[in-house]
Amino acid sequence: MAATTHIIIIAILALSISVSAKEFIVGDDAGWTVNFDYQDWANGKEFVVGDKLVFKYPVGNHNVFKVNGTAFKACMKPPPSEAMTTGNDVITLATPGKKWYICGVGMHCAYGEQKLAITVQPQQNLAPAPSFPFPIGAISSPVPAPMPAVWYPARKIAAIRN
């Protein structure tokens, strides 16, 4: 029974982690496009480790590059092999700190302001485990006492049968 209780607690903790992660559609209804103020969009949002960014755009019209701060400021795109191009690119924010993203199509970053900079916060302490009115180890199912072993010598068994 104690093992079952531990499994339940682990399931509750796993659920609380997955429930706390948020999914952000970059640009909301506008999606990932030119001439949109992504810094204004990000303003006031709290990005936390485990959250996801979803870049939605028409395939072929845009792409997404994860870059460093220098490349972000200069709109320098990395090699084409590093581009995300599905039109529904999902990035899980795995570490805290500054993150930068740009579009590498044409001059979308430089002239269309198609770029996003965010700061990812560390994951907050998980909610405390639910409290129980009794110690977890105290839960046990009753185990019947073992039957006493009775030893009968073969001669007594024969006498009992007759």
pLDDT at position 16 is 44
Residue 26 and residue 45 in contact, taking contact as beta carbons nearer than 8 Å: no
> CATH no. for residue 14?
2.60.40.420
Q: pTM for the complete prediction?
A: 0.67
Query: In angstroms, rounded to a whole number, what is the distance separating the alpha carbons of residues 17 and 80?
Result: 35
Across the range 156-160, mean pLDDT stands at 52
Q: Residue 56 pairs with which residues in a beta bridge?
A: 88
Q: Indicate whether 25 pLDDT > 80.
A: yes
Residue 10 lies in a domain: yes
State how many domains the chain has. Answer: 1
Q: Could you tell me if residue 157 is inside a domain?
A: no
- Tens of pLDDT, residue by residue over 67-113, are 999 999 999 999 999 999 999 999 999 999 999 999 999 999 999 99
Is the pLDDT confidence value at 6 over 70?
no
Q: Say if 49 falls within a structural domain.
A: yes
Q: What pLDDT does residue 10 have? A: 47
* Residue 15 reports pLDDT greater than 50: no
Assigned domain for 158 exists: no
pLDDT beyond 70 at 3: no
Sequence-separated (6 or more) residues with CB below 8 Å from residue 136: 2, 5, 6, 9
Residue 136 lies in a domain: no
pLDDT in tens, 105-137: 999 999 999 999 999 999 876 555 555 555 555
CB 136 within 8 A of CB 159: no
For residue 63, is it within any domain?
Answer: yes
- Could you tell me the residue range of the domain that residue 100 belongs to? 2-121
pLDDT of residue 154: 55
Amino acid identity of residue 88, one-letter, is N
Tell whether 24 is covered by a domain.
Answer: yes
Q: Contact 46/75 with Cβ under 8 angstroms?
A: no
Residue 141 lies in a domain: no
What is the per-residue pLDDT across 132-151, written as a single tens digit (0 to 9) for each? Answer: 555 555 555 566 666 666 65
